[in-house]
């Protein structure tokens, strides 16, 4: 079942009457909350709809389209793909996020994506902490047939990522994608470590890291906003990728995030395989949240 099919019923309950009244608006707001927009963003969108159309005749279809348009207008400005443009090479992409959000898998997907465009990719196994995290990335590297820079389990991640930049620079690799251990944004020590990794990446090449991608799990709720805020402060996030949108979670927190932080959204993850990454399509995501698609 496609996301769009599953979600088309989202707002169907939200239209009992042809006139846009408070009860209908309540239903719209509830539907947005269920999509994880959070009460504040949901209430703002409700307010805008009310301003434009309160008391006017509106069909269920038109209402959904109006909701989708409101959301799309928020999301369109932040939809930006990752492009390999760094000169000199490599473009260094640092991938960060809380535990289990999908960083390592997303790295495999990104590498695959770049390979399809004929770019050469290298991976750096910067998660030396979690059990078998290196083995996990190494398995992906093998499947993708790309080189991987790795050190011992429990080793210093900063020195591995330094080696990564060096190796990729020597080889002239187009993109170096750096995996990091998952960390909760309220862990001071781990956030300091991330800052250090960032700094070390810039030692050989002051432009690096060119991208700092925060991976968000679509099943997370409002805490995703706090993740964005803190990771941005500590590591200078340049863009977002949201994973696990192949489930029933709708990722509405992206709408609130776009309003509050305006960070680029690069792509979405829709499965566990290496070809399960899609460009972020704001109109589609908006239509899915509004139940039009």
Ligand X SMILES: Nc1nc2c(ncn2[C@@H]2O[C@H](COP(=O)(O)OP(=O)(O)OP(=O)(O)O)[C@@H](O)[C@H]2O)c(=O)[nH]1
The whole-angstrom separation of Cα 124 and Cα 161 is: 6
One residue of 34, 50, 84, 204 binding other proteins per CB under 8 A:
34
One residue of 15, 249, 254, 285 binding other proteins per CB under 8 A:
249
One residue of 7, 133, 235, 285 binding ligand X per CB under 6 A:
133
Backbone angles phi, psi at 99, to 5 degrees: -60, 135
Output the smallest distance, CB 135 to ligand X, in A: 11
Size of the site for other proteins (CB under 8 A): 48
The whole-angstrom separation of Cα 288 and Cα 232 is: 28
Output the smallest distance, CB 122 to ligand X, in A: 18
Q: What are 287's two structure tokens?
A: 């239509």
Among ligand X, Mg ion, other proteins, none, what binds residue 76 when CB lies within 5 to 8 Å by partner kind?
A: none
Among ligand X, other proteins, Mg ion, none, what binds residue 269 when CB lies within 5 to 8 Å by partner kind?
A: ligand X
Burial of 145 by CB count in 10 Å (0-12 exposed, 13-18 middle, 19+ buried)?
A: exposed
CA distances from 98 to 180, 186, 187, 198, 225 (A): 10, 10, 10, 16, 12
Output the smallest distance, CB 247 to ligand X, in A: 6
Chain centre to alpha carbon of residue 140: 20
Closest CA relative to residue 88, chosen from 209, 169, 165:
169
Output the smallest distance, CB 120 to ligand X, in A: 22
CA distances from 219 to 104, 121, 141 (A): 17, 29, 27
Decide: is 260 part of the binding site for other proteins (CB under 8 A). no
Question: Any idea which residue has 């979690």 for tokens?
Answer: 130
Site string for ligand X, 262-281 (x = CB under 6 A): -------xxxx---x-----
Residues 41-70 that bind other proteins (CB under 8 A): none
Size of the site for ligand X (CB under 6 A): 21
The whole-angstrom separation of Cα 143 and Cα 162 is: 24
Nearer to other proteins, 86 or 234 (CB): 234
- Give the H/E segment covering residue 239: strand 239-243
One residue of 44, 150, 198, 244 binding ligand X per CB under 6 A:
244
Closest CA relative to residue 15, chosen from 5, 6, 26, 4:
26
Note whether 263 and 237 are within 8 A (CB).
Answer: yes
Site string for Mg ion, 97-116 (x = CB under 5 A): ------xx------------
Applying CB under 8 A, the span of 13-21, 97-105, 111-119, 120-128 interacting with other proteins comes to: 97-105
Closest CA relative to residue 92, chosen from 109, 79, 110, 116:
110
Cα 84–Cα 240–Cα 271 angle in degrees, nearest 5: 90
Note whether 182 and 215 are within 8 A (CB).
Answer: no
Nearer to ligand X, 72 or 241 (CB): 241
Decide: is 187 part of the binding site for other proteins (CB under 8 A). yes
Residues of this chain that interact with ligand X (CB under 6 A) are 97, 99-105, 127, 130, 133, 182, 184, 243-244, 246, 269-272, 276
Residues of this chain that interact with Mg ion (CB under 5 A) are 103-104
Residues of this chain that interact with other proteins (CB under 8 A) are 1, 6, 30, 33-36, 38-40, 98-102, 129-133, 135-136, 138-140, 143, 153, 182, 184-187, 217-224, 226, 244, 246-249, 253, 272
């Amino acid at each position: 079942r496609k996301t769009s099919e599953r979600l088309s019923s989202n707002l169907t309950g939200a239209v009992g009457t042809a006139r846009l009244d408070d009860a209908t608006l309540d239903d719209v707001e509830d539907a947005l909350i269920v999509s994880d927009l959070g009460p504040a963003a949901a209430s703002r969108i409700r307010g805008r709809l009310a301003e434009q159309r309160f008391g006017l005749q509106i069909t269920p279809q038109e209402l959904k389209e109006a909701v989708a348009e409101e959301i799309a207008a928020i999301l369109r400005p932040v939809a930006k793909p990752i492009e390999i443009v760094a000169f000199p090479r490599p473009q260094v992409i640092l991938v960060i996020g809380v535990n289990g959000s999908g960083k390592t898998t997303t790295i495999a997907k990104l590498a695959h994506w770049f390979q399809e465009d004929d770019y050469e990719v290298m991976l750096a196994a910067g998660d030396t902490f979690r059990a078998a995290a290196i083995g996990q990335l190494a398995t992906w590297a093998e499947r993708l047939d790309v080189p991987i820079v790795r050190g011992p389990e429990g080793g210093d991640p900063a020195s591995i990522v330094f080696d990564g930049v060096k190796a990729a620079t020597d080889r002239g690799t187009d993109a170096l994608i750096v995996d990091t251990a998952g960390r909760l944004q309220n862990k001071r020590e781990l956030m300091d470590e991330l800052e250090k990794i960032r700094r070390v990446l810039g030692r050989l090449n002051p432009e690096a890291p060119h991208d700092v991608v925060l991976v968000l799990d679509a099943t997370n709720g409002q805490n995703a906003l706090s993740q964005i805020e803190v990771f941005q402060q500590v590591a200078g996030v340049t863009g977002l990728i949201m994973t696990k949108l192949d489930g029933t979670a709708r990722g509405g927190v992206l709408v609130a995030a776009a309003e509050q932080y305006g960070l680029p959204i690069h792509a979405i993850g829709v499965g566990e395989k290496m070809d399960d990454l899609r460009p972020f399509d704001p109109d589609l995501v908006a239509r899915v949240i509004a139940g039009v698609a």
